[in-house]
Structure 1
Amino acid sequence: MDTAPQIVRYGALIPCRTAFIDAHTPGSDHKENFTVIGGGVSESPDQHVHIATPHGFNIGAAGQPPRCRNSLHDHRTAEAFFVLSGRWRFFWGRWGDAGEVTLEPGDIFNIPTGIFRGFENIGSDYGMVMAILGGDDAGGGVMWAPQVIEDAAAHGLILAETGKLYDSKRGEALPPGVSPMPLMTPRELAKRPEPSTAEVLPNHVARYWDMVALADRAPCKVIGAAGLLRDRPGFEVDFITSGSASDAPQSRDRPTVLMPVRGHWRVTWPGGSDTLAPGDTMSVPAGLAHAALPSMSGDAGLYRVTGTGDPAGPTWRG
Structure 2
Amino acid sequence: MTWDLDTLCHRRVRYDDLMPCRNAFIDTRSPGSDRKENFTIIGPGVAESTDQHVHISEPHGFNVGGARQPDGCLNSQHSHEGAEVFVVHTGRWRLFFGPDREDGTLDISPGDVVSVPTHMFRGFEKLDSGIGFLWVVLGGDDPGRVRWAPNVFELAKQYGLVLLKSGRLVDLDRGEPLPEDAELETAPDAEEIARLVTPSPDRLAQCLVRHEDLRPNPSSMLAAPGVEESSVIAPAASGDGFGPGPIVGWWPHGFHLRMLRMAEGSHTPEYHCEEPEVIFVQSGRVRLVSKAGELVLETGDTFTSPQHWDHQILADIDTELVMVRGGDAPSGPQKRC
Shift of 1:290: 2.0
> Contact (CA 8 Å) 1:215, 1:243: kept in 2 or not?
no
Question: Aligned equivalents of 1:79 and 1:107: distance in 2?
Answer: 14
The residue correspondences of 1:135-174 to structure 2 (distance < 5 A) are 135-139=140-144, 141-174=145-178
**1:210 aligns with one of 207, 210, 213:** 213
Shift of residue 303 of structure 1? 0.5
Amino acid in structure 1 at the alignment position of 2:212: W
Which residue of structure 2 lines up, in the alignment, with residue 252 of structure 1?
Answer: 273
Distance 1:124 1:142 in 2: 28
**Structure 2 CA distance for aligned equivalents of residues 88 and 70 of structure 1:** 11
Ranked by relative contact order (alpha carbons within 8 Å, sequence separation 6 or more), the top structure is 1
For residue 131 of structure 1, give the secondary structure of its aligned residue in structure 2.
strand
* TM-score between the two structures when normalised by the length of structure 2: 0.86
Q: Does 1:228 align with 2:254?
A: no
Which digits, 9 at most, give the CA deviation of each residue in 1:129-184, with x for residues without a partner?
01000001112x21111211121112111001111111111122321211210222
CA distance in 1, matches of 2:177, 2:165: 13
Instruction: Please state if 1:66 is matched with 2:81.
Output: no
SS at the partner of 1:130? strand
Q: Quote the Cα distance in structure 1 between the aligned partners of 2:196 and 2:25.
A: 22
Counterpart selection for 2:190 from 161, 186, 189: 186
1:171-213, Cα deviation, whole Å (9 max, x unpaired): 2232121121022221111122223434312x111111222x5
Residue of 7, 23, 26 corresponding to 1:21: 26
Asked whether the 8 Å contact 2:263–2:315 carries over to 1, the reply is no
Maintained 8 Å contact 1:93/1:195:
no
Is the Cα–Cα contact under 8 Å of residues 216 and 231 in structure 2 kept in the other structure?
Answer: no
Instruction: Tell me which amino acid in the other structure corresponds to 2:274.
Output: D
Q: Which residue of 2 aligns with 1:88?
A: 93
Q: What's the CA shift for 1:99?
A: 1.9
Moved more, 117-126 or 145-154: 145-154
Partners of 1:278 and 1:56 in 2: CA distance: 25
Q: Give the structure 2 partner of residue 195 of structure 1.
A: 199
Q: For residues 7-32 of structure 1, give each alpha carbon's deviation from its aligned partner in whole angstroms, at most 9, with x where no partner exists.
A: 00000001110101101111000100
TM-score (norm 1): 0.91
Aligned-residue RMSD, C-alpha: 1.9
Q: Does 177-186 or 8-17 show the bigger shift?
A: 177-186
1:150 is paired with a residue of what secondary structure?
Answer: helix
Which of 33, 44, 53 is residue 39 of structure 1 equivalent to? 44
Unmatched segments (≥5 aa) in structure 2: 237-243, 330-337
In structure 2, relative to structure 1, the CA distance for the partners of 1:54 and 1:100 (3 Å cut) is same
SS of the residue corresponding to residue 115 of structure 1 reads coil
1:302 — aligned with what?
A: 321
Contact 1:7–1:280 (CA under 8 A) maintained in structure 2:
yes
Bigger shift: residues 257-266 or 188-197: 188-197
8 Å Cα contact 2:256/2:328 also seen in 1: no
Structure 1 residue runs of 5 or longer lacking an equivalent are: 311-318
Q: Partner residue of 2:289?
A: 268
- What is the aligned partner in structure 1 of residue 240 from structure 2? none
Out of 206, 213, 229, the residue aligned to residue 219 of structure 1 is 229
Out of 152-161 and 262-271, give the one that drifted further: 262-271
Secondary structure at 1:184 match in 2: coil
1:316 match: none
